Chains A and B, each alone.
Chain A
Amino acid sequence: MCATLTDTARDRERQDETTLRERIAANPEPAIAWSLVAVALIGLEFGAFIAGLLLVVDSAVIAVTALIEVTVGLVSPSASESIVGIQQAASGTLDGFRSTANSLPTLLSRETIPNQGYKTGPNGPWENTFLGLEPAVAWAIRAALVYAYAAFVSFWAFRGWKIFRANYRQSDWTPRDDVIDRLDGHRWAQFGIIVVLIFTTMALFAPALGPTTVEQNIQSPYSHELQYFDAEDGEVRTALVGDANFNSKSKGNGEQNVGPMTYDDFGRFHPFGTLTNGRDLFTFAVMGARISLTVSALSMAIAGLIAIVMSLASAYYKGIVDLAAILSADGITSIPQLLLLLMVAMAFQGHWLSDVFNGGFLLALVFGFTGWPGLWRAVRGPALQVSEEEWIDAARSFGQRPSVTMRKHMLPYVLPYLLIYGSMAVGGIIIALSALSFIGSGLGINPPTPAWGRAISMGREYVSTQSWHIALIPGVLIVVLVTGLNAFGDGIRDAIDPESEGGAEEEAAAGGTAG
């Protein structure tokens, strides 16, 4: 698929190529114009970018040390304790950097466009909100700006690729150009891409999107205060957020319901209404998107890695390796994934591993180790196909190391298929993840960390009442996201391999876990 992967310095010399740097130096204008805007875009959100990067590094540190600790813990418990110490120290330092980064002003932060304020009189102006606007309007402006920014960044990134293609790429044409061109008229794929972008933006900008923050409204509502205009007394009062939540519950009947797009008695705006415990559903849902997407992306990375290694090894060596792969895949899939997940969740209940990332890390591991057979089945065919090619034989005959052959000559061919099936299987993971959180009782994401499934579980008894929004909205989010992911997978399949039509394996991948 992508010949560029195999380029080495010597190849380039032989083909009389220049480096990207030289090509840019020869014709700098388009690159400079593009970079100026790109730098400006990053500058607007610089603090958030750095904080996000640090968060990724922090998570990686915790995950890696956790894995090391489990392995070492099997041998010596004392060594594993010292690793926990290192983990805490490293993570603490990173947290310090992160709070510094977070304090840098950014355009799309709650501080720049605040929506939490209070009225000073019955009809009086709002205090502490952006330009004295109503909280709903202030929040809508911020949310619209976030999405406008995200849309522009995506557009600019795509434009960057186009500029590169037009001005700096060595070859006039690569197969990937055709892939992109085929997406041009593919409405269904475009729908998928847009849905995926919307949810990715939601996950990335979760703290800025919510009308309130998880910390304030959900994690520790009794350590935060708010001011509101008390209509009965006619004056501005102060209350604890927890008490305000207590009086803003959605419990079905008319007295106790804060529906979507309404204010509660404390002058707080709730775009999706409130939960049964009075917390803000929108804040809960966007944070839930962040958690769902992170866990499923991590699971997919693990499953994809195992699937690729297994498929390449079994296609290259065949025979006993292939048989072993078949047997272990069949063995794992002989237990329905949901049951396997339930068993593992039970086994690790109360174990410290189930606390890393509020339970998300363990779930990602389990999804990864139970999800690879589905992906492996999907990429095994292409892997076997490419292993029959003459160039593999040629590589073997001149003594290329098997790992190099697999990486350079087989992987590029197999990878696109992994992308297709992966994007379809992610939907299954998102559904299974929310199913576990729905069941609750120590399974799924630990409360009070937001999870879509838990919101549905809370709203279970109120479906036919005024508080219908609690169960409906998170469910609709899941349906839209999963539909979008399937459309995205369909689209790249059509773009990469226009001959193919949906086959049984990918449908199995798409509906892999019954949640």
Chain B
Amino acid sequence: MNKLLYIAKRLLLGIPVVLFGLTMTFVIIYLSPFDPMTAILGRDSDPETARQLAIALGLRNPDGSPVPLWIQYKDFLVETITFNFGQSWVVTRGQPVGALVWERMPATVWLGFWSVLIALIFGIPLGLYAGLRSNTWGDYTASFGGIVWRAMPNFWLAVMLAGLLSAGGALSFYRGFLIPTDVIGTSDAIGALFGGFTPISSLEWLRIPVPNLYNWAAGFKWILPAALVLGSSSMGNEVRIGRTAVLESINAPYIDTAKAKGLSTRSIIGKHVARNAMIPLLPVIMGEFYLLIGGSVLVELIFGIRGLGNLFLSAIFASDVPIIGALTYVFILIIVFFNIAQDIAYTIIDPRIGLEGGNE
């Protein structure tokens, strides 16, 4: 019961954060020198068209008087929160923004999924390895590799990798390797990851999607370079944090106790060291999602992936306010969700963390 209460409290605290984030978006777009009219119509526009547009955008009342700012703010908040994003102004003029976001979502989710997973698969074992063999050459290589890997800007890494993978580059064989895929651009494979649905025996309504394995493989191979780049900084973080966490827990007295009890090294590492090392790793893993959303903008730009990050960038270039507002809202929701998930995961991994003082 206590835990449920905590979760409810944590969710409640998420509300002002979402509101604050949206307010900031509103302030940046509506209170800055930015002029949406010029963005849509260009500098020299017909006054009549401009008047109609201003009414349509909710900037002016039909009688020509300007709509007070707080009403604009209220409309912005209400419409955004209820997922009523309106239509795109410039990027795909007239298309409902909600549909557009939905259409671009799969590529970003696919990219994010693999970049988190690849970073975890390589980063955590490397960090554990470096911590368990501290001050050996293996440790130095892994730690230094982690540090440099983290210091590399995503966009630069993406440029270098995309260049090497392109025709004439040292890695150009990759495109034809096993399954022919493109490296730059969006693969069709992710649109067809599931070939159909099989109903489960007698239950007609319960259907299991049938994965199309070829498309999974093609989709994975296509996203691998971009996911590697996007996961790079998190991977470096995981190596470093994992190493210090292992060092800290391996010198703890309970490890000596476990040794004295005659536990095998394997179970000491598995049950005591690795588990305790997860505590400081948790925020890093959760932080990945945060890095990912920002990073996806650049990685999607360079690898030509038609995902949300790319959409955000086109919206910025075209000053397409509805798309910017909608995407910011979606991103805020994702981040707040993962922040709450992190706090809840903390209480599961580390029961010492008080449920009362968990909001830090």
Contacts and interface: CB of A to CB of B under 8 A. Distances in A.
Interface of A: 326-328, 330-340, 342-351, 427, 431, 434-435, 438-439, 441, 443, 453, 456, 459-465, 468, 471-472, 475, 478-479, 482-483, 486-487, 501-504, 507-508, 510-511, 513-515
Given A434-B153, A441-B317, A511-B150, A339 B244 contact: no
B225 to A, nearest CB: 13
A460 B169 CA distance: 13
Given A483-B147, A515-B155, A343 B169 contact: no
Given A346-B34, A471-B156, A336 B237 contact: no
Given A334-B21, A463-B159, A513-B294, A347 B332 contact: no
A439 B154 CA distance: 13
A431 B157 CA distance: 12
B168 interface: yes
B17 A331 contact: yes
Nearest to A353: B33
Contact of B295 (A333, A453, A503, A514): A514
Given A334-B21, A511-B291, A456 B168 contact: no
Which of B20, B162, B168 has the most CB atoms of chain A within a 10 A radius of its CB? B20
Given A336-B331, A336-B335, A507-B241, A482 B312 contact: no
B297 A342 contact: yes
Contacts of A335: 21, 24-25, 328, 331-332, 335
Contacts, number: 202
A454 to B, nearest CB: 12
A436 B19 CA distance: 27
B97 interface: no
Contacts of B244: 501-502
A245 B19 CA distance: 53
Contact of A463 (B19, B25, B163): B163
B293 to A, nearest CB: 5
Interface string B22-66: 011100110011100000000000000000000000000000000
A514 B294 contact: yes
B153 A475 contact: yes
Contacts of A511: 150, 233-234, 236-237, 287, 291
A327 B245 CA distance: 30
Contacts of B32: 344, 347-348
B104 to A, nearest CB: 15
Contact of A507 (B16, B154, B240, B317): B240
B156 A502 contact: no
Contacts of B301: 439
A334 B18 contact: yes
Given A348-B33, A507-B241, A515-B154, A328 B20 contact: yes
A132 to B, nearest CB: 40
A486 B147 contact: yes
B168 A507 contact: no
Contact of B153 (A342, A346, A515): A515
Contact of B154 (A351, A504, A514): A514
Contact of A504 (B167, B284, B319): B284
A514 B291 CA distance: 5
Given A478-B153, A511-B150, A504 B297 contact: no
30 contacts: A327-B20, A331-B17, A336-B290, A339-B312, A340-B24, A342-B312, A342-B313, A350-B33, A431-B154, A434-B156, A456-B155, A456-B159, A460-B162, A460-B163, A460-B302, A463-B159, A465-B168, A471-B163, A478-B152, A478-B153, A479-B148, A479-B151, A479-B153, A479-B156, A483-B148, A486-B147, A511-B236, A511-B291, A514-B230, A514-B294
Contacts of A327: 16-17, 20
B298 interface: yes
Contacts of A504: 241, 280, 283-284, 287
B273 interface: no
Q: How large is the interface on B (under 10, 10 to 19, 20 to 34, 35 or more residues)?
A: 35 or more
B326 interface: no
Question: Which A-B residue pairs are the 4 nearest by beta carbons?
Answer: A463-B163, A331-B20, A514-B295, A464-B169
A465 B21 CA distance: 44
A332 to B, nearest CB: 7
Given A347-B28, A439-B298, 5 more contacts: A336-B331, A478-B156, A482-B151, A501-B244, A515-B298
B328 A343 contact: yes
Nearest to A335: B21
Interface string B137-159: 00000000001101111111001
Contacts of B230: 514
Given A475-B153, A514-B233, A343 B160 contact: no
Contacts of B159: 456, 459-460, 463, 471, 475
A475 B324 CA distance: 30
A427 B294 contact: no
B148 A502 contact: no
Contacts of A510: 150, 237
> SS class of chain B's interface: helix, strand, loop or mixed?
helix
B4 to A, nearest CB: 23
Nearest to B170: A464
Contact of A501 (B169, B248, B284, B298): B248
B164 interface: yes
A441 B301 CA distance: 13
Nearest to B243: A502
Contacts of B105: none
Contacts of B291: 336, 511, 514
B294 to A, nearest CB: 4
Contacts of B29: 343, 347
A422 B280 CA distance: 21
B283 A508 contact: yes
A487 B147 CA distance: 9
A464 B164 contact: yes
A435 B335 contact: no
Nearest to A384: B360
Contacts of B293: 336, 339
B124 to A, nearest CB: 14
B292 interface: yes
Interface string B231-257: 001101100110010011000000000
* Residue in B28, B169, B230 whose Cβ sees the most chain A Cβ within 10 Å: B28
**A342, A343, A478 — which one has the most chain B CB atoms within 10 A of its CB?**
A343
B154 A508 contact: no
A84 to B, nearest CB: 16
A333 B236 CA distance: 22
B311 to A, nearest CB: 12
Nearest to B33: A351
A456 B233 CA distance: 19
Contacts of B19: 331
B166 interface: yes
B134 to A, nearest CB: 12
A255 to B, nearest CB: 17
Given A351-B33, A507-B237, A334 B332 contact: yes
B2 to A, nearest CB: 22
Contacts of A344: 28, 32
A347 B34 contact: yes
Contacts of B359: 326
A46 B341 CA distance: 59
Nearest to B144: A483
B336 interface: yes
Nearest to A487: B147
